[in-house]
Amino acid sequence: MTDTKPDDTESVSDEFSNDDYDSPWKDAVEHYFPELMAVIIKNRDLI
């Protein structure tokens, strides 16, 4: 008699590998980073 267990080798990330969770925040960083840096540099004496 063999003991059979469910295959636990698949990780949860395998289920969601096709979903793209990074793009929204990366797009926001790309869009707002230059403006943010300009404000920080302009006001660096206040920091």
Whole-number pLDDT of residue 21: 85
Asked if 40 and 47 count as a contact pair (C-beta separation under 8 A), the reply is: yes
Whole-number pLDDT of residue 22: 87
pLDDT per residue over 1-47, tens digit each? Answer: 555 655 555 555 555 555 788 899 899 999 999 999 999 999 988 87
Rounded CA gap, 17 and 20, in Å?
8
The amino acid sitting at 40 is: I
Rounded CA gap, 13 and 9, in Å?
11
- In the chain, what are the domain boundaries? 23-47
Rounded CA gap, 12 and 38, in Å?
40
The model's pTM is 0.45
